[in-house]
Amino acid sequence: MVTLRQLATMVILFLIGSSSLFLLGGTAERDAWMSVAVGVLAGFVVISLVTLQIQRLEPDRNLIEIFKLYFGKVIGFVFGLIYVVYFCYKCTRNVREFADLSIMFLLSDTPLSVIMLIICIIGGYAVMGGPGVFFRMAEVLLPILILIYILIYLLLIMTGTIDLARLLPMLEKGFKPVWDAAIPEIISFPFGEMVLFLMFWRYIDKSSFGQVMRVTMKSYLFAGAFITVMNVIIIASLGSLAGWSTVPLLQATTFVTIGDVFERFDPFVALLFFTAVYVKLTAYYLGASLALAYLLRISLRIAAIPVGIGIFFGSFWFKSYMHQVNVGFEQNIKYHFPIFQMYIPLLLLIVMLLRSGVRSRSKRQNQPSSEDSNHAN
């Protein structure tokens, strides 16, 4: 089983994940951090009113079981298979990110295929341990990563790299660019990705699902605030360059030098990226494997093998790091991901509420008849 503390650390680490690679809401320029704040609030509405409500109605089932229960075996199987593909696709994006960043920062002479194969094997090893082992790993990693982030932020402040004047003037072009950058893009990435936790919440050791909801929402808000601050620091450090940088936080640290002795802090940033992206890709790998295991009624260890093979070969579809980023930001988060993160979950919740209402009415109708029969006797 997974503890509430481990759930909190996983939610935070998962949401921060690869979002640290980019300036979210970059089309809003210096107001991008406001777009993130809007996305946090909008995503909070989605997770509290849709995603968590699905799990509240069926606290002991995962997403695949819920689909089968409410949509029937055939339609439920189809929806479940769609989510296996969705989780695998999200994982392939993260695997490719990890491999491309490894070549950029550390292993320039290593073949792309070798790096992707290694990361798939390492991810598969973690997946075969099950949710309990994976969530314990996140519990260990999160404090270390938060300390490194704080160290980087302090260095940027101490060296005068951060200039809050770069955030001004605010809302120069009005609120519309802020809204357009947030909806649906920032809801979709990273906050809408919480739909994955419909595969995990049933494993939480709890006395009531209310505890799970409170811990999830608090962790979500902490991660949202952290990502917002991250965007503020990136913009205050790079100004107008932030939107053009491939990896903004990494570029910001290149300006950090202390007494001509301490410099080149980018390995710390690389460590952050690799760890966070690894956790995120493994989370999707685990979600896809669990989903396939429940669909085909096979063990998690067996399901992880075809899922891993599909993820590995799927990662070759992207031509380059920038191709993967462009497909993600120009197509996926605008048109594709909202279908899996908002529209299908909303449809599922409506069906669940309708069927729950029908059951409750039938129970109320049966009660008087049973009482009448007792009186007759």
Instruction: Convert the pLDDT of each residue in 253-278 to its tens digit.
Output: 877 777 666 676 777 788 888 898 99
Q: Across all residues in the chain, what is the average pLDDT?
A: 90
Range of the domain at 165: 4-367
In a domain, 376, yes or no: no
Average pLDDT rounded to a whole number, residues 278-301 = 97
* Distance in Å from the first CA to the final CA of the chain: 50
SS3 320: coil
In a domain, 214, yes or no: yes
pLDDT classification of 95: cutoffs 50, 70, 90: very high
373 vs 20, higher pLDDT: 20
* Cβ density class 118-154: b for 16+ within 10 Å, e for less: ebbeebbebbbebbeebbbbbbebbeebbebbeebbe
Q: Name the domain count of the chain.
A: 1
In a domain, 377, yes or no: no
pLDDT classification of 244: cutoffs 50, 70, 90: confident
Lowest mean pLDDT segment, chosen from 16-30, 117-131, 164-178, 359-373: 359-373
Using alpha carbons, select from 216, 202, 213 the residue that is nearest to residue 60.
202
Instruction: Convert the pLDDT of each residue in 166-197 to its tens digit.
Output: 999 999 999 999 999 999 889 999 999 999 99
Average pLDDT rounded to a whole number, residues 29-50 = 96
Residue 100 belongs to domain with CATH number: 1.20.1740.10
Whether the CB-CB separation of 250 and 41 falls below 8 Å is answered with no
In a domain, 372, yes or no: no
In a domain, 108, yes or no: yes
Prediction pTM value: 0.93
Average pLDDT rounded to a whole number, residues 307-332 = 93
Amino acid identity of residue 212, one-letter, is: V
